[in-house]
Structure 1
């Protein structure tokens, strides 16, 4: 990530900073005031966060206004990390620091022995640098091998070897939390942190200071500590120790998208699609994921991550691009036939309940067909598809598959007014590419098959509606 260059004209010494009228604010006050300003102005505060508008975000905003440290509790793939990474947008774009200070201290409030000495010696000539808000966010993935030294600090043997005594506070090498002074510290998967390491955070969260190997050193740290945890980790694999959990001011439950439209928006936003995938196919995938999250055969403690939906959309797009390479069809457009690639490729991303061994493919196939039926039922509600069914039955079978172009699908059918209506329901215009029109028509054919109004014969690489 490229750090922007500070704008010209900013104060460069402590004296200039004081003369400019700059006021020192703690990070929690800074975030509270910036959040309240954005609330009053109605501007977007959480870009890229989907599905939390009425649930998680109001709770988080209230916690930040209250000045609370926060833990987000939720299953995998619910956007917890994405949400926490958006927190730094509530910081001032630029903040002054003592130039060269190890912990990025404010020129009006040095806290380390070195900075205190420099401030006393230089006075108003103390040099000031400017730090961008993106540099004030640090993130640590909690792993069993994380040490107290990583988070808080330890004695630096190099500084001791230089001749300083072990009692000299300047021999300390500061860890991640002190280095995030005047910033946001995020610890992902906090329960995976060993309990003895969690103890080291108690002083940071309550007394806002650190203790390193018995040093009598008090650093009034100014940090916002936020963490994520999985409910399964919370109760089984690991836990947040009770004293530490008590120090978090707010525990907020996250969730998967509750609306199909939110899941579609998330896929559209996050997926890297090398071919065109229509909203009707994304809706099928969104419903598929929703059915998986409700299925008693799927281990819901593990959850069905939003990454599954994103990977499914990318798989469907890849299947369309693969067909395009084989047939020369341009532009590559996904069709319902490409949905068949999803269960086989992504089966390993789902944990099934014990006792479902051997039925995984059957279950995934059933839920995918159900998702297609649900989508087409809503998309074509009130539309009479009988003329399309009659045309297929009366001698116009339609073949589709990996090596069959959209144009071939359309030329197999006679000119029917209902085809234009089907395309219109899917948001496709008459002048659009054959692939787009065929994608909508194929969904209508599949819905007729699922309603037992058409037959379908399938082999390895093609299916025929008849």
Structure 2
């Protein structure tokens, strides 16, 4: 494999002969996705239950070069999907070393990098940025400011450089410009204050923004992806309509459609490989009951549907069930850890914190509701196992 270009002149030559490809982030992700589709490789390893629903919609959004948003309740793998988009980026891209916004050496945006290219010419050093460093994620909260997201004017930098505040060189870049030439993800988008959302849709539509009254042109090369709760992502919620209108695709996630899909996720995510000399044997019906508890909770009238019941519930529950069985085996000096139904009742702390209750549920109490959900789940699994048996 030829060595990477180390200077601007070498990079120009490499781009000219085709050994280094120069393209926008969305084109890069689109073309890498096309190659993966043709090769038949997995698009999002570890994501279960979305092959016929969510994944095709994400593929369509990427092929359309859209910024997109994932709408779903908690525990539906939204953040994991967004982070998995980095696998569609190139291994490395050339950048100007030391640049805060990872400028393209062949088309720098910031004034400092443009000046550096003019001064150093083809001898200017070129750095390389890995794919993981090209992903920036921010959890939206009401106290996030324009300075955090987009940037601010730095009076100290202006004073030291003897520049006016109107000079572009006095700007301190926020998270969004620092995601230039990469992917910028915002979780819980509607929680951003209205003026921050306005700043975002200006970036999405026009590529410019005003920093304390000074217009700064930022034609960023960035793919923007978001996540949100469906309840908040409405005109009645906390999202402003112009921003919603500028997001290309709106994709809804969901909980596992079947118990066996949920069991596959829980088996993949739960930590059940314990250290020590004890043998672990988890009966299949225990796994089914653990998963059925989540399904029962999602349909229970006393559980708040707007909050949802995270897929983390059966994951944490199975871990606690195994731990209680492990504790019993250690105390009784048994060689085998074999979870029982009683271990599920002992794992109530893994259930009660994973759902929000409606008024009726609050009157009953979280522990009482959880016990009744366990009882219902055991009944459903028992009936399924012994269907047609005459007692």
TM-score clears 0.5 = yes
Alignment of 1:142-157 (within 5 A): 142-157=140-155
Whether the 8 Å CA contact 1:192–1:238 is kept in 2: the answer is no
Aligned to 1:370: 376
* Separation in structure 1 between the aligned mates of residue 366 and residue 216 of structure 2, nearest angstrom: 58
Instruction: Indicate which of 333, 336, 339 corresponds to 1:334.
Output: 339
Aligned to 1:161: 159
Q: How many residues align?
A: 379
Q: Residue deviations 1:94-115, cap 9 Å, x none?
A: 1111122221111111111111
Residue 375 of structure 1 and its aligned partner are, at CA, apart by 2.6
* Separation in structure 2 between the aligned mates of residue 114 and residue 217 of structure 1, nearest angstrom: 14
Q: Residue deviations 1:26-54, cap 9 Å, x none?
A: 00000000001101110011011121111
Residue 229 of structure 1 and its aligned partner are, at CA, apart by 0.7
Gaps of 5+ in 1: 1-6, 385-450, 454-466
Q: Residue 131 of structure 1 aligns to a residue in which SS?
A: strand
Please identify, of 323-332 and 309-318, the stretch whose mean Cα deviation from structure 2 is larger: 323-332
**Residue 13 of structure 1 pairs with residue 18 of structure 2:** no
Aligned to 1:176: 175
* Separation in structure 1 between the aligned mates of residue 359 and residue 338 of structure 2, nearest angstrom: 38
Aligned to 1:285: 290
Please identify, of 129-138 and 7-16, the stretch whose mean Cα deviation from structure 2 is larger: 7-16
Gaps of 5+ in 2: 275-279
Residue 215 of structure 1 and its aligned partner are, at CA, apart by 2.5
Distance 1:358 1:377, change over 3 A: closer
Q: Residue 52 of structure 1 aligns to a residue in which SS?
A: coil
Aligned to 2:321: 316
* Separation in structure 1 between the aligned mates of residue 331 and residue 81 of structure 2, nearest angstrom: 41
* Separation in structure 2 between the aligned mates of residue 301 and residue 168 of structure 1, nearest angstrom: 48
* Separation in structure 2 between the aligned mates of residue 246 and residue 81 of structure 1, nearest angstrom: 22
Distance 1:28 1:344, change over 3 A: closer
Aligned to 1:3: none
Alignment of 1:277-426 (within 5 A): 277-343=282-348, 345-356=350-361, 357-358=363-364, 360-379=366-385
Whether the 8 Å CA contact 1:274–1:318 is kept in 2: the answer is no
Residue 117 of structure 1 and its aligned partner are, at CA, apart by 1.2
| Higher CA-based Rg | 1
Q: Residue deviations 1:185-206, cap 9 Å, x none?
A: 0111111111111111122111
Q: Which has the higher contact order (CA 8 A, sep 6+)?
A: 2
Alignment of 1:6-155 (within 5 A): 9-20=3-14, 21=18, 22-155=20-153
**Residue 212 of structure 1 pairs with residue 211 of structure 2:** yes
Q: Residue 209 of structure 2 aligns to a residue in which SS?
A: coil
Whether the 8 Å CA contact 1:274–1:314 is kept in 2: the answer is no
Please identify, of 93-102 and 229-238, the stretch whose mean Cα deviation from structure 2 is larger: 229-238
Q: Residue 223 of structure 2 aligns to a residue in which SS?
A: strand
Q: Residue 99 of structure 1 aligns to a residue in which SS?
A: coil
Whether the 8 Å CA contact 1:142–1:193 is kept in 2: the answer is yes
Q: Residue 303 of structure 2 aligns to a residue in which SS?
A: coil
* Separation in structure 2 between the aligned mates of residue 228 and residue 129 of structure 1, nearest angstrom: 32
* Separation in structure 2 between the aligned mates of residue 279 and residue 153 of structure 1, nearest angstrom: 54
* Separation in structure 1 between the aligned mates of residue 284 and residue 192 of structure 2, nearest angstrom: 41
* Separation in structure 2 between the aligned mates of residue 176 and residue 145 of structure 1, nearest angstrom: 15
* Separation in structure 1 between the aligned mates of residue 9 and residue 349 of structure 2, nearest angstrom: 66
Q: Residue deviations 1:162-208, cap 9 Å, x none?
A: 12221221010000000100010011111111111111112211112
Q: Residue deviations 1:370-423, cap 9 Å, x none?
A: 3223334444567x7xxxxxxxxxxxxxxxxxxxxxxxxxxxxxxxxxxxxxxx
* Separation in structure 1 between the aligned mates of residue 333 and residue 308 of structure 2, nearest angstrom: 39
* Separation in structure 1 between the aligned mates of residue 174 and residue 366 of structure 2, nearest angstrom: 46
Distance 1:344 1:139, change over 3 A: closer
Q: Residue deviations 1:245-293, cap 9 Å, x none?
A: 1110011111111111111111112122255334431211111111111
Whether the 8 Å CA contact 1:78–1:306 is kept in 2: the answer is yes
* Separation in structure 2 between the aligned mates of residue 302 and residue 170 of structure 1, nearest angstrom: 45
* Separation in structure 2 between the aligned mates of residue 92 and residue 79 of structure 1, nearest angstrom: 23
Q: Residue 165 of structure 1 aligns to a residue in which SS?
A: coil
Please identify, of 262-271 and 360-369, the stretch whose mean Cα deviation from structure 2 is larger: 360-369
Q: What is the TM-score normalised by the length of structure 1? A: 0.77
